[in-house]
Amino acid sequence: MSLALIAALPFLGALLPGLMIRAGRNACAMTTGFVTALALLMLGLHAPAVLRGEVIQTRIEWLPGLGLNANFFLDGLGLLFAGLILGIGLLIILYARFYLSKSDPMGQFYTYLMLFQGAMVGIVLSDNILLLLVFWELTSLSSFLLIGYWKHLPEGRQGARMALTVTGAGGLAMIAGMLILGNIAGSYDLTVILQNKEAIQASEWYLPALILILLGAFTKSAQFPFHFWLPHAMAAPTPVSAYLHSATMVKAGLFLMARMWPVLAGTPEWFYIVATTGLVTMVLAAKIALFKDDLKALLAFSTVSHLGLITMLLGFGTKAAATVAMFHIINHATFKAALFMSAGIVDHEAHTRDIKRLGGLRHLMPVTFAIALIASLSMAGIPPLNGFLSKEMMLEETAHTVWAGSHWLMPVLATLGALFSVAYSFRFLAHTFLGPVRDDYPHKPHDPGFGMWAAPALLAALVVIIGLVPMTAAGWLVDAAAGAVTGEPVAAKIKHWHGLGSPALWMSVLAVGGGLMLLASHARLDAIWNATPRPEAKRIFDGIVEPLAALARRVTAISHDGSLTRYLAIATVTITALGYYAWATADHGTGTRALTPIQTVPAIGWFLLVVSSLALVAFHRNRLLTLVLVGVIGLMVSVGFAYMSAPDLALTQISVEVATVILLLLALNFLPKTTPVESSGGRKLRDGLIAAFGGTGVGVLIYALMTRDFAFPSIAEYHLANSYKEGGGTNVVNVILVDFRGYDTFGEITVLGIGAIVIYALTEALLRGGPANDRLLAWSPDQRRAGDRHPLMLVVATRLMLPVALIVGVYIFLRGHNMPGGGFIAGLVVAIALVMQYMASGFAWTQARQKIDYHALIGAGVLIAAATGIGAWFNGVPFLTSDFGYVNIWPLEEFELATAALFDLGVFLTVLGAVMLALASLSRIAIRAGETINVDAFDIHPENDGPRTEPATTTTEAR
């Protein structure tokens, strides 16, 4: 369970910032950091075992029949990425505490950050591709929130939409590819899939799966031609940018390629697609970065370039290249996070990121300059820093790689990319920090406090340490990660000097020299760059998205115009047509079951049901008559249930019908009693034909099902055989509701409670004021009312019946587990008993005497049901699995106690609260609309123990 807890901790931690911000910004940041540090500590406890070559696994069955399980595993690759995600995430939390202004909602920021962190940790620890896909899409959603955190900035909103569109579309493609792999391997567990290289690569579905999965990886890691979204994500706060670019989001695509490397790599398709895409991205993005004036934009395109470098290495498909890729992932994370934080410090202090408005900051911000100096030189690949080591190893690999029969194309282009990297790295450093101090800064800059530069300083120190002692500082982690990628033991040899005969040395010298020359000529080259027409990726993206969005709006306007009739017509025609096609194209014979003879009583009931249904269609404009006919149809259905030996369903149907009719009558009180003519004759004919078409199809299907035997046993047989043995009850229907399918019931009562609360909320909005309230106050009955609104006989009868009805409700509740009844029916029975009081004596009279809050009743019911389900976990069984036993309490006979009774109590309370809250909400409208309270001589008043001796004829206006 420890791996599952590591993945869950950030999500649990996301609940805390919104609460802790009330205790102050420091408390909010410390709590958030504590959760991340705890997850990092738990990860570190597994590190020794992983470094020994062990694989830590946690398996939690969820839906094994579908292959969807919450399985997690930790190997060297997962340790590398999870360590980066949590370690740099901890530094980002510290940095953000001092970066965000007091006007920024810090609690909201940390909540989004923890959700994003949890999604990333989930990706790298998942051992089930379906679970991985869930986390994958969560990264897109949570990054959308982070990128658009500054909602007041149009560029922030647009950047968030662009990132969500591109990465979300790639994620959809990846889902298809992953499902193909799962079907080929016969399992959705990654550990199983990774052992089926031969079967996967031999399958005719290998290439489609490869392309689909790479689409997901390329979009997430901003590879060409999907590179454009990442620079636009720079509208996010700098802590977000630093996190996205160094350890998360864009690294998810790299992780996916590395994770699937054992089964997808090693083929020409993999080499030419992955290596070529990475090489093009590396060179193109490096060139663009050189001419960007915004510090974060420059660093964003540099990130895209380095992502292309790592993608290219993974595309080579060799053990040595995969090892270099793992090493550069570590190096890039350290120097890129430090650079983004340094750029954020400059922006925070100077109030600008425009390089052309900066310069000379080394004199004003010496600490920031020292951090940026180390990180920039590492990004440029200058010895003895860590970036130099992995750059040299990368150049060495390209020198021995043949592309399309050419021995020189790959190393030349890689050297060109390194040359551009040197140029933009030195430009970032020179044009921002070198030169004379200016007197026209937007704001006088200076080094910030320790809290803001501590995190990048630590990362800069790691850059130096890894560069000086790479084997001691990072070699062990590189070996573990590369071994997990390649499936073979790896013993990396990382060193500064490879000899004069190494081609990487001269390629590196050429890159540094050429980069310095480009920097010296930057002004002239920049003028040429700005004067050269070139395609703008954002404009192309907008040109594609806008017509698609317009088409979507047009289709939506046509198909989703709010007409329920149209929706039902389309659905009915489609479903029936598909059913007819299946029937016409399949082999089928006559039924094997003999028809039962028609008896008189069922025939009469069927005839009444048909007549009521036809009358409902013919007289549907009369709403009151329609409601009566609906009640008749419901009554006949309940009689049918009783005839078919389904007393539970019959009781439920009758109770629902009574409660529904009463509520609808109350609502109908405020509506016109007739429906206006809206359909033409042609439309009625069309709808009639569709209804007849669909009804005939359903009737034929039912006939076919009832006259045939099936090869597979019905699930009813399982329920009948296990109702008492597994659930402790002889009432199969109730056991199904509270045990076998208790989760469905729990969802239903939750929805029922929400529906009642929504009715209450709408009522509150209606009564609060506005034009709707004015119309309500001006409402008058459209028909003459009866003079005696609260008949004396009805008042007396309902008050006498109330205790009896309550006892009946309790009786039905208690007997429900073994005989017809249960919490749902009991809740409706008690609700009807209370509704009768409202009908007989009026809402105000009844409401004044009830002391129970219906909201609390709904909440208590849902909580009791949830607590009962959670209690099953303590018994080591799934959620809502009931338990039962028999006890002897003198002087009672032996009787059964079942946890299902508590769950049924939750159902009872929720149903009762929902019905009564809906009734109370509608009745409040009646009072506001002008209903009066009739106080009669038989009312019992709280201040008087007995009946009033003198008749009261006054009428008090309800308030």
| Cα 927 from chain centre | 42
Query: What are the angstrom distances between the C-alpha of 598 and each of 601, 602, 603, 604?
Result: 9, 7, 7, 10
Q: Tell the burial category of 498 from Cβ atoms under 10 Å away from its Cβ (0-12, 13-18, 19+).
A: middle
Cβ 352 vs Cβ 363: under 8 Å: no
Q: What is the mean pLDDT of residues 413-434?
A: 93
Q: What is the pLDDT of residues 710-768, one digit of tens each?
A: 777 778 888 888 888 888 888 888 888 888 888 889 999 999 999 999 988 888 877 77
Whole-number pLDDT of residue 958: 35
Neighbouring-strand partners of residue 57: 73
Query: Position of tokens 């000086």?
Result: 468
Whole-number pLDDT of residue 776: 61
Q: Tell the burial category of 435 from Cβ atoms under 10 Å away from its Cβ (0-12, 13-18, 19+).
A: middle
For residue 770, pLDDT beyond 70: no
* Neighbouring residues of 325: CB distance < 8 A, sequence distance ≥ 6: 254, 258, 310, 313, 314, 485
For residue 950, pLDDT beyond 70: no
Mean pLDDT of the chain: 86
**Poorest-confidence range of 386-395, 408-417, 916-925?**
916-925
Neighbouring-strand partners of residue 957: 932
Number of other residues whose CB lies within 10 A of the CB of residue 163: 26
Whole-number pLDDT of residue 324: 94
Q: Where are the beta strands (DSSP E) in 710-868?
A: none
| Nearest partner of 591 among 456, 702, 467, 752, judged by Cα | 702
Q: What angle do CA 717, 718, 724 make, to 5 degrees?
A: 105
Whole-number pLDDT of residue 788: 66
Q: What is the pLDDT of residues 316-362, one digit of tens each?
A: 989 999 999 999 999 999 999 999 999 999 999 998 999 989 988 99
Under DSSP, is residue 896 helix (H, G, I), strand (E, B) or coil? strand
Number of other residues whose CB lies within 10 A of the CB of residue 756: 25
Cβ 738 vs Cβ 745: under 8 Å: yes
d(C-alpha 723, C-alpha 903), whole Å:
16
pLDDT band with cut points at 50, 70 and 90 for residue 936: very low
Whole-number pLDDT of residue 724: 85
pLDDT band with cut points at 50, 70 and 90 for residue 771: low
* pTM assigned to the model: 0.74
Q: What is the mean pLDDT of residues 939-951?
A: 41
Q: What is the pLDDT of residues 129-174, one digit of tens each?
A: 989 999 999 999 999 999 988 888 888 888 888 889 899 999 999 9
d(C-alpha 635, C-alpha 653), whole Å:
8
| 829: amino acid identity, one letter | V
* Neighbouring residues of 697: CB distance < 8 A, sequence distance ≥ 6: 575, 576, 579, 580
Number of other residues whose CB lies within 10 A of the CB of residue 716: 10
Q: What is the crossing angle of helices 2-13 and 25-51, to 10°?
A: 160
For residue 821, pLDDT beyond 90: no
For residue 17, pLDDT beyond 60: yes
Whole-number pLDDT of residue 898: 84
DSSP track, 450-466: HHHHHHHHHHHHHHHHH
Query: What are the angstrom distances between the C-alpha of 888 and each of 361, 476, 896?
Result: 85, 65, 9
* Neighbouring residues of 373: CB distance < 8 A, sequence distance ≥ 6: 429, 433
Q: What is the mean pLDDT of residues 658-667?
A: 82
**Poorest-confidence range of 61-70, 86-95, 379-388, 449-458?**
61-70
d(C-alpha 485, C-alpha 493), whole Å:
17
Q: Tell the burial category of 146 from Cβ atoms under 10 Å away from its Cβ (0-12, 13-18, 19+).
A: buried
Q: What is the pLDDT of residues 465-510, one digit of tens each?
A: 999 999 999 989 999 999 999 988 888 888 887 777 788 888 989 9
Whole-number pLDDT of residue 89: 94
| Nearest partner of 433 among 337, 295, 243, judged by Cα | 295
- Residue 128: what are its φ and ψ, rounded to 5°? -135, 125
* The token pair that represents 578 in the structure block: 């598909």
Whole-number pLDDT of residue 669: 73
Whole-number pLDDT of residue 773: 61
For residue 561, pLDDT beyond 80: no
Whole-number pLDDT of residue 707: 86
Whole-number pLDDT of residue 928: 64
Neighbouring-strand partners of residue 403: 406
d(C-alpha 8, C-alpha 1), whole Å:
10
875 or 415: whose pLDDT is higher?
A: 415
Q: What is the pLDDT of residues 252-265, one digit of tens each?
A: 999 999 999 999 99
For residue 880, pLDDT beyond 50: yes
Q: What is the mean pLDDT of residues 456-462?
A: 95
d(C-alpha 759, C-alpha 767), whole Å:
12
Whole-number pLDDT of residue 624: 86
Under DSSP, is residue 945 helix (H, G, I), strand (E, B) or coil? coil
Q: List Cβ<8 Å contacts ≥24 apart for 573-580.
A: 573/690, 573/693, 573/694, 575/694, 575/697, 576/693, 576/694, 576/697, 579/697, 579/701, 580/697
b/e 280-309 (16+ beta carbons within 10 angstroms → b): bbbbbbbbbbbbbebbbbbbbbbbbbbbbb
